[in-house]
Chain A
Amino acid sequence: MAVDQAEDGRPTSDDADRDALDDDVLRPRRGRTALLTATAVGVVLAAFIAILATGEPATSRLGDSPLLGERAPELAGASLLTGESFDLDDERGRFVVVNFFATWCEPCRREHPDLVRFDAAHQAAGDARVVSVVFSDEAGDVEQFFEERGGDWPVIDDTSGIVPSWGVTGVPESYLVDPAGFVVSKIVGGITAQGLEDLLGRAQAGPATDS
């Protein structure tokens, strides 16, 4: 027997007998195992496909932030443009749009006129204002930026961890803070004046935590 095996690897009759025996003994058990395995695999895969089918696109998760509905993180400093000091805590009583930007970022340049329009529209009523935080940038460039494109709101340089405490992922990014000092919404990417007005309108009408 063994010689046979060594010669050509062909199964020997012994092997075959043994296999037959094994099969007889194991058949019913294997049938059940197979069924169970197949069912389990099927259920898991079905659930998996359902999750994939209903999964929202990654981009829809952009506006999420643990800060929504929470008290706004600290934001204070001297404006790069005028040197005046600014503190978000002094702005209770009106909405504040906190805008994170950089002069080298193209979408920031595109959204700037809308920010200017929004700020101007609310300056008289005093119900909302804009404050910008600049990061990864040069003071000279920022002054030039505002000189060329308008806007006279406070611009604060990120020196002491403002960006990470607000959970900023990139520029441009804006947050709407309500008169009580709570974060109402987060906008990733460029804003438009109309978009801001809509957010403001909704925030004024509804509860502050509604994003």
Chain B
Amino acid sequence: MNAALGTAGVALGLAASLLGVVTLAVGLRSRRPKLLRVGRSYAWLVLGGAVLATVAMERALITRDFSLQYVADNGSTATPALYNVATLWAALEGSIILWALILAGFTVGVVVKFRTRLTDPLVGWASLVMLVVCAFFFMLLVGPANPFTTVAGAIPTDGPGPNPLLQNHPLMAIHPPMLYLGYVGFTVPFAFAVAALVTGRLGEGWLAATRRWTLLAWGFLTIGIGLGSWWSYEVLGWGGFWAWDPVENASFLPWLTGTAYLHSVMVQERRGMLRVWNLSLLLSTFSLTILGTFLTRSGVLDSVHSFTESPIGMWLLVAFAATVVVTVGLIGWRGDRLRSPGSIDSPVSREGAFLLNNLLFAAFAFVVLLGTVFPLVVEAVNDERISVGTPYFNRMTAPIGLALLFLMAVAPALPWRKASGELLWDRLRWPTWAGVATLVGAVAIGARGISPLVAFALGGFAAAAAVRQLALAVGAARRQGASPLRAFVGRSNGGMIVHLGVVVVAVAFTAASSYTTSATYTLAEGDSATVAGHTVTYEGMNPEDVSPQRTLVSARVRVDGGQVYEPALNQFPNATQTIGTPSVRVGATEDVYLTLVAAPEREGGPVVLGVIIEPLASWLWVGGGIMGFGTLLAAWPTSRRRREDDPVPSAEGGRLPAADVARMEDGEAGRDDVPVPSGVG
């Protein structure tokens, strides 16, 4: 029943997306508006198919229908409800259903949002591209990653349940969907970029059309990555939040190129430049999501996250290759129309800063990509096995990160076109002093080491610059009568809030990775240990908590004579290893992170307790939240709407919206940002 329902959904999705592609293609080729309108409605059918497949799988999971191979492999009668629902994305096939569902949702979103421009070839091509991507994922569901295969032979009465690590923390229920919303969300700007290339309408129209979609995708990706990092902190038990694991890198790569794009796109909007570069960034962002999925799902790389090997790898690689060939080909074909009409007057200007920003983000992405795939490359070249791990990534990315922090402080203060030293100093004076004060303060409270100190100083500098910018803009908006909340809405204000979030994350990251103290103690009942000024007292074990799902032993540990924390060890019935559940005393200045390394051998015996003191760790999640909030503000519809539904200015005359944006930004933020004239003479 569930298998039939799900298979029907998948078939419907595949058929509808293929038919939609054909209809749109014919409609675009023969310029028949009617066909374009019809083609659009296939998006709804695709969504219908995806919903059907999702419902079928969830129903199978909830009713414990072990006749489905997927449920038999990943479900279990003992899994609690929340994790049972989340089992949809606990393994490869199910996660492709989720991917398809979100993709179909975005496709319908595009169709609905641009319903007034049904016959616009740009929108037509964009929907076509989205449907092609839909078709690909439904093809995966029909072929190599079919989640609805039934069990051959006798139907089991129970299954092993999802990977124990995935049923250990509620964050697992929201981290993957958020991440997928981000990954898949970048398909929308990608589709419009391809559409712009195909139709040759390479002005700034498609940028304006997809601005908000891109922001949304970026926001989801940011939150998804943040939640993933939080999850690993709460669950993995080594006190880490970022391990440069291939899967983490795979999600970080599109984030880096996406962030670069969000910045460089402003140069194009404002000055009509960097067209090829912006297209390349969007196209690589999309390609990187496919590549990342390949790297982590095909088994070529070791990873904590990798699912079992499956034939899906080849399909994803082919998709990646096809994307690359098509996009590079399109850019080559349209190269003549892509020559940027502008020029940059001075490196010391907003656009100069954006260029440098992009250089740094590109370098960052290159380092991460290189480090991730390099073991494979070396092995292919001379059969040598090497690892590229945390020390490499930290050493290579730290300077880039510091340079970005510096740029983040200076760039918002730079006017477009050209800045005089005087103006710059005027704007940066008090942020500079804020940075200096942060540095002196950090040294005074005992922080040591050049690079963390530089990071703190730059953090203070950048934060103050963002606050200054925000205060000016909000003040100006208030004077114009905006409500206190309204005054914060808008791209530049949202952007500054995101910057603040980034500073919080950067400072927390630096502190938590530079000043962590960890120790392992063997403690008898009643014994205490002191680490970095904190006293932990082992007060005994709790009675064993046995449930069909797992056996849990936990220790009672009093921290600083206050509350009792209970780090635990779980034994899942089908896992060979015990899995720890750390217990964390979250604090504003530092977290006390407790792990149960080994339970007592005998009743009343000593335990082995791991204690990690991590300064500022909790601010990582706060910073992530601020970034998400800022993105929301930036994407929130403003009263000064840009005319997104306007017909796109024809062909190359793409300077028009740029003027719009420019007017808006000048109104919002730097009222004093009048460019120093350049062409006068």
Tell me the A residues contacting B by CB distance below 8 Å: 1-2, 5-6, 8-12, 14-16, 18-19, 22-23, 27, 30-31, 34, 38, 41-42, 45, 48-49, 51-59, 61, 64, 104-107, 138
Contact = CB atoms under 8 A, between A and B. Distances in A.
Contact of A59 (B299, B376, B385): B299
A1, A9, A23, A106 pick with most chain B CB within 10 angstroms: A9
Contacts of B22: none
6 contacts: A15-B342, A23-B341, A52-B300, A54-B380, A58-B302, A59-B309
Given A48-B373, A52-B317, A12 B332 contact: no
Given A34-B332, A51-B380, A58-B302, A107 B677 contact: no
Interface stretch (B102-110, B178-186, B320-328, B560-568): B320-328
B659 A57 contact: no
B461 interface: no
B517 interface: no
Nearest to A9: B662
Contacts of A57: 298-300, 309
Interface string B45-73: 00000000000000000000000000000
Nearest to B666: A9
Contacts of A52: 294-295, 300, 317, 373, 376
B335 interface: yes
B448 interface: no
Interface of B: 270, 272, 294-295, 298-302, 306, 309, 314, 317, 320-321, 324, 328, 331-332, 335, 339, 341-343, 373, 376-377, 379-380, 385, 416, 576, 601, 655, 658-659, 662-663, 666, 674-675, 677, 679-680
A49 B317 contact: yes
Given A15-B679, A51-B376, A22 B343 contact: yes
Contact of B300 (A42, A58, A107): A58
Contact of B377 (A15, A51, A53, A107): A51
Nearest to B383: A64
Contacts of A55: 300, 376, 379-380
Contacts of B343: 18-19, 22
A49 B674 contact: no
A134 B385 CA distance: 28
A70 to B, nearest CB: 16
Contact of A1 (B321, B335, B680): B680
Nearest to A107: B576
A58 B299 CA distance: 6
Contacts of B658: 9
Contacts of A19: 341-343
Contact of B679 (A9, A12, A51, A59): A12
A10 B659 contact: yes
A61 B659 contact: no
B576 A138 contact: no
B663 A9 contact: yes
Contact of B674 (A6, A38, A64): A6
A8 B306 CA distance: 52
Contacts of A138: 601
A43 B380 CA distance: 16
Contacts of B377: 48, 51
B339 A105 contact: no
Given A8-B663, A10-B655, A19-B342, A2 B328 contact: no
A14, A18, A53, A58 pick with most chain B CB within 10 angstroms: A58
B680 A23 contact: no
Contacts of B324: 45, 49
Contacts of B328: 38, 41-42, 45
Contacts of A16: 341
Contacts of B342: 11, 15, 19
A8 B660 CA distance: 8
A11, A16, A61 pick with most chain B CB within 10 angstroms: A11
B662 A8 contact: yes
A18 B385 contact: no
A52 B300 CA distance: 8
A61 B385 contact: yes
A107 B294 CA distance: 30
Contacts of B299: 57-59
Contact of A30 (B294, B339, B576): B339
Nearest to A53: B317
Contacts of B679: 1-2, 5, 12, 14-15, 18
B339 A23 contact: yes
A126 to B, nearest CB: 34
Nearest to B332: A38
A138 B302 CA distance: 31
Given A8-B663, A57-B309, A49 B601 contact: no
A49 B320 contact: yes
Contacts of B339: 23, 27, 30
A27 B379 CA distance: 42
A1 B679 CA distance: 8
Contacts of A58: 299-302, 306
B160 to A, nearest CB: 13
A80 B44 CA distance: 69
Nearest to A14: B679
Contacts of B675: 5-6
Nearest to B656: A10
A124 B299 CA distance: 44
A11 B317 contact: no
Q: Which 8 A-B pairs have the closest CB atoms?
A: A9-B662, A2-B677, A14-B679, A57-B299, A55-B300, A106-B576, A51-B380, A58-B302
Contacts of B380: 51, 54-55
Given A23-B341, A52-B300, A55-B300, 15 more contacts: A2-B677, A2-B680, A8-B659, A14-B679, A22-B343, A34-B335, A38-B331, A42-B328, A48-B377, A49-B324, A55-B376, A56-B300, A57-B300, A59-B309, A107-B576
Contacts of B272: 11
Contacts of B666: 9
A22 B373 CA distance: 40
Contacts of B320: 49
A18 B343 CA distance: 9
Nearest to B417: A5
Contacts of A53: 314, 317
Nearest to B303: A58
Contacts of B376: 51-52, 55
Nearest to A41: B328
Nearest to A19: B341
Nearest to B571: A104
Contacts of B314: 53
Given A55-B300, A58-B299, A9 B674 contact: no
A1 B302 contact: no
Contacts of B300: 52, 55-58
A11 B271 CA distance: 8
B447 to A, nearest CB: 36
Nearest to A7: B663
Nearest to A11: B655
A92 to B, nearest CB: 31
A34 B300 CA distance: 33
A78 B373 CA distance: 45
